Structure 1
């Protein structure tokens, strides 16, 4: 379990199509994903405005990417928040794939 910038405890849990971050038991945001073969596509991340500025997106994305790597999947960062995180944390570049037309088609068809 991590803590946010205010020291509040956070918890990231995996659901069938997203990772959810909670602060003191209150859902504060999520990052969606879609598994496509060996790839896990991350199209969208949201942190509730009431929890902004507390570093929750960083905690959420890091834990989601670590879980994805642990499952042996490749990361496809469609979401700008996920892409920006990977730019600042190059240790995930070895398991990151580019956003291709095929990925865009998969997202358009969901």
Structure 2
């Protein structure tokens, strides 16, 4: 199984492809100096494979290296992910 993360800036969305097919996405909106993650979804056929975590980790790594934006997590999955992964806490303190 191969995975690829795409940042579709025109859609304000990160997309995770599995073997070339869309398996999940994370939507966001930009507000001032913040990126607000609003919704994460994984295809039910791929649930319990850890893909939501792969998707969010990739998106947050992109935010960390590709922008100076502060992170605001409104999506419950993103909130839980950040709570469980201290290495992303500094993103909430930026700005």
Per the normalisation by structure 2, the TM-score is 0.91
Structure 1 residue 41, shift from structure 2 partner? 0.2
Q: Runs in 1 of length 4+ with deviation above 6 angstroms?
A: none
**Aligned mates of 1:50, 1:89 — CA distance in 2:** 26
Secondary structure of the 2:48 match is coil
Larger radius of gyration: 1
| Aligned-pair Cα RMSD in Å | 0.9
Query: Do residues 20 (structure 1) and 5 (structure 2) align?
Result: no
**Aligned mates of 1:55, 1:11 — CA distance in 2:** 14
**Residue of structure 2 equivalent to 1:58:** 53
**Aligned mates of 2:23, 2:90 — CA distance in 1:** 29
Unaligned runs of 5+ in 1: 1-7, 98-110
Per the normalisation by structure 1, the TM-score is 0.79
More RCO (CA 8 Å, sep 6+): 2
Q: What do residues 3-60 of structure 1 show as CA deviations (whole Å, max 9, x unaligned)?
A: xxxxx11111000210000100010010001111110000000001011111100000
**Residue of structure 1 equivalent to 2:39:** 44
Of Structure 1 and Structure 2, the greater strand share is in 2
Aligned residues between the structures: 90
Unaligned runs of 5+ in 2: none
The counterpart of 2:84, out of the listed 82, 88, 94, is: 88
**Aligned mates of 2:43, 2:75 — CA distance in 1:** 16
